[in-house]
Amino acid sequence: MDLFIEILKAIFIGIVQGITEWLPVSSTGHMIIANEFVQLDISAGCWDIFEVITQLGSILAVVILFFDKLNPWSKNKDAVMRKKTWSLWFKVVVAVLPAAVIGILLEDWLDEHFYNFIVVAIALVVYGVLFIVIERINKNKKFKIEDVYDIDYPTAIKIGCFQVLSLIPGTSRSGSTILGASTVGVSRTAAAEFSFFLAIPVMLGASALKVFKAFALDGLSLNLTEIVVLLTGTAVAFAVSMVAIKFLMAFVKKHSFESFGWYRIGLGIILIIYYIIKINM
């Protein structure tokens, strides 16, 4: 019965991860919130690994959905498209560098000072307001870059700098990159795709680093329940991510992110009220 309960919890948290990883509402923030109310009966070290391993399920969804576009050896591509695909990968690598460098240098400091309930709540509200403001500024704007292949290196670097904002829990990696891209002339559709592609090396690198630290340096070991929980959460995150990515790609073609901004503000306010009540109990 205990294992069954933990599997149900893992399914719930996997759903949260799969949805929020790609929607501009902050997956890290929602995982902190989920852990506040639905705590898995696993060690703290296993929880840290659970967060990054479930992200790998989400990454796999991107690879599968965009495999042809990302594959330079695709039989569906001629020499010109193969060259464009390689160029796209180089631009992704360039755009990853700002967040990768700062993330590696400040990871422990950021986890210690920013990885908490109140920071998430404030970030949800602040960036929710920014989402609304930026989207209203961009309303009816004509974007100069409509296709992800047409993103140039200077634009890729700018998008990568916006991605640095997502190192603060509650900000949203996809939201910061997509809205940042739109401010430098990239359409929401192209920005969303580029954001997904950026997630592959960023999340793979971050996951590999945390897994290495946990097992090689900290000597983490897992029991059967923890292994089952990890596999369950990852599988659910993958399946839900497939749906979430398709939804977001369809959504951005016809709608702005303003509705997500209002959602963030509402959730942030609720969390701030909850936090105030909690510390005064």
Q: What is the mean pLDDT of the chain?
A: 88
Residue 38 is predicted with a pLDDT of 87
Which positions ≥6 away from 27 have C-beta within 8 Å? Answer: 16, 17, 20, 21, 55, 172, 173
Mean pLDDT in residue range 201-228: 83
Higher pLDDT, 175 or 237: 237
Number of domains in the chain: 1
Residue-wise pLDDT for 164-192, tens only, equals 888 888 888 888 898 889 889 999 889 99
Give the range of the structural domain holding residue 226, as residue numbers without chain letter: 2-279
Residue-wise pLDDT for 21-34, tens only, equals 999 888 877 888 88
Residue-wise pLDDT for 191-208, tens only, equals 999 999 998 887 887 778
